Structure 1
Amino acid sequence: MVTDEELKEIVASIAVEHRELVVAQKETDRQLKETDRQLKAQAVEAEHDRREMKKSNRELGKQIGGLANKFGSFTEGLALPSMQQILRSQFNMEVVSPSVRVKKGDEELEIDVLSYANSTLNEVYVVEVKSHLRDEGVDQLLDIVSRFRHFFPEHKDKKLYGIMAAVEMSSRLKERVLSKGFYAAKISDEVFSIDVPAQFQPKAY
């Protein structure tokens, strides 16, 4: 049989264990709250970093796009003097106009160089200039010649020819350019020159 003294000791021991349990539970709650606070802070920081990264990517994209545009304009500018000379002397063009942009309603057409002759020759040449030619560049020139007369009805009776000029043009792309009946031209040491085989026959669009 448990004596009063032993019972008191048991009750006291239970009370101590209860207090320790309460303290431990409070510490656990505090740690959980601290962990939750840290996780929330990390989530906020991660969201901030994500937004900053997205903003940086947008700015970088704009810078890269601007650099590409500037390099394209730089390439066109280097080639223009010799390009004008060849268009006038070799193709007998009377008018040579760089950077032509025309708009009809919501449609727009941009041509790097437009040249034409109104005499008995009655021809038009559109020149597309690229620093590094890709398939999209050839597609772009095809699109220009297909839409040209819509934007320039005054030239509807002229024969229309295309010239693709590039600083870098792979042999595969050169073959594609020639297969479409376009003149291939290279830009080397700031000089523009026609680069086609002797048997080449241009296509009038």
Structure 2
Amino acid sequence: MTDAELKDLVASLVVAQKETDRQLKETDRRVNETNRQVGGLANKFGSFTEGLALPSMQQILRDQFRMEVVSPSVRVKKGGEELEIDVLSYANSSLNEVYVVEVKSHLREEGIDQLCNIMERFRYFFPEHKDKKVFGILAAVEMSGRLREQVLAKGFYAAKISDEVFSLDIPAQFTPKSF
């Protein structure tokens, strides 16, 4: 190979490398955009599931547990920390109880851990409820039998959907855990 041929080869490789770099940047941009869109869809689907669950959960909380206040999408910030609760319900009467509802489209173990974390931090964020019994409800569109058993073992109520209506899915002898 002559010097001129070698120079031409190197020059063509430089051009090809620049084109490859440009294509990689474009691919990265598209991947980032796709990730952003997928994240947006996941958030919208989560909001959709919460909206689907709310009417049924309101009825359960008011009729079965005699709750006076039912608040969807509660977000609090305190001391640089944040807490998000899908549905917060309480009664100030002689019941003196609080129900924290976490809604999932497809329950995974992380969802159970998330509700445990919310329950552990609840009194820090809501000192006004310090003297109340606090109970957790995990409502899911899709919940395997194995995960349902884990939910119940943690002392949480399990709720499932059937015919577009959520209902509690607990055995007759179930005793919820007060946090």
Distance in 1 (CA, whole Å) between partners of 2:174 and 2:34 is 43
Which stretch of the first structure deviates more once superposed, 65-74 or 29-38? 29-38
- Tell me the equivalent position of 1:143: 117
Distance in 2 (CA, whole Å) between partners of 1:56 and 1:127 is 37
Compute the displacement of 1:105 (Å).
2.6
Alignment equivalent of 1:173, drawn from 132, 147, 150: 147
Q: Deviations over 1:159-205 (max 9, x none)?
A: 00000000001111111111100000002332110001111110000
- Tell me the equivalent position of 2:43: 69
TM-score, length-scaled by structure 1: 0.85
1:160 aligns with 2:104: no
Distance in 2 (CA, whole Å) between partners of 1:148 and 1:154 is 10
The residue matched to 2:75 in structure 1 has which SS? strand
Alignment equivalent of 2:165, drawn from 184, 191, 195: 191
Alignment equivalent of 1:89, drawn from 35, 41, 63: 63
Report sequence identity in percent. Answer: 71
Compute the displacement of 1:58 (Å).
1.1
- Tell me the equivalent position of 2:103: 129
CA RMSD of aligned residues (A): 1.0
Q: Which amino acid in 2 is paired with 1:111?
A: I
1:54 aligns with 2:17: no
The residue matched to 1:129 in structure 2 has which SS? strand
Structure 2 portions without partners, runs of 5+ = none
The residue matched to 1:144 in structure 2 has which SS? helix
Distance in 2 (CA, whole Å) between partners of 1:149 and 1:59 is 39
Q: Which amino acid in 1 is paired with 2:169?
A: D
TM-score, length-scaled by structure 2: 0.97
Distance in 2 (CA, whole Å) between partners of 1:189 and 1:54 is 42
Bigger share in helix: 1
Q: Which amino acid in 2 is paired with 1:141?
A: L
- Tell me the equivalent position of 1:41: 15
Q: Deviations over 1:105-128 (max 9, x none)?
A: 310000000000001100000000
Alignment equivalent of 1:103, drawn from 58, 71, 77: 77
Between Structure 1 and Structure 2, whose CA radius of gyration is higher?
Answer: 1
Compute the displacement of 1:45 (Å).
1.2
Checking the alignment, whether the CA contact within 8 Å between 2:104 and 2:141 is kept in structure 1 is yes
Across the two proteins, how many residue pairs are aligned to each other?
179
Distance in 2 (CA, whole Å) between partners of 1:31 and 1:175 is 73
